[in-house]
Amino acid sequence: MTPAFAVVVDPGAEDDLRSLHAWVSEHRSSEQADELLARLLDRVATLEHYPLRGSVPKELEVLGTTECRQLVLPPYRLIYYVVDTTVVVAVIADGRRDMANLLARRLLGR
């Protein structure tokens, strides 16, 4: 089995999770919000053993940035990067948003 990596969710991604949960609770139901949160966190947990399995987000690839990867749980995208033996989840967002601007702001500091 692949050695385990530490997986951390940075504060911005934690805020993303809280916002998604609140939105789904308000517009659908608290049960659906809880289910979505569990599914997203399950996906995050898979990075412990398979951190490089995701694809490079196309919005970053066109900028020449290939350090970040993504997992998709349609329509949501989990954007992360690996530093040594740690996986850092940086963004969890609805992929229907303007991802190019979001990723540039959050990951490239623009």
Residue 98 resides in a domain: yes
66 part of a folded domain: yes
Asked if the structure places residue 1 within a domain, the reply is no
Q: Is residue 59, in this structure, part of any structural domain at all? A: yes
Question: What pTM did the predictor assign?
Answer: 0.90
Q: How many separate domains does the chain show?
A: 1
Assess if residue 56 is contained within a domain.
yes
Q: Domain holding 92: CATH number?
A: 3.30.2310.20
DSSP E strands, the chain: 6-9, 68-73, 76-83, 86-94
Range of the structural domain that residue 27 is part of: 6-107
As averages over each run of 10 residues, the pLDDT of the chain (110 residues) reads 85 96 97 98 95 92 89 96 96 89 76
pLDDT for 1: 58
Domain annotation covers residue 76: yes
Distance CA 26, CA 24 (A): 5
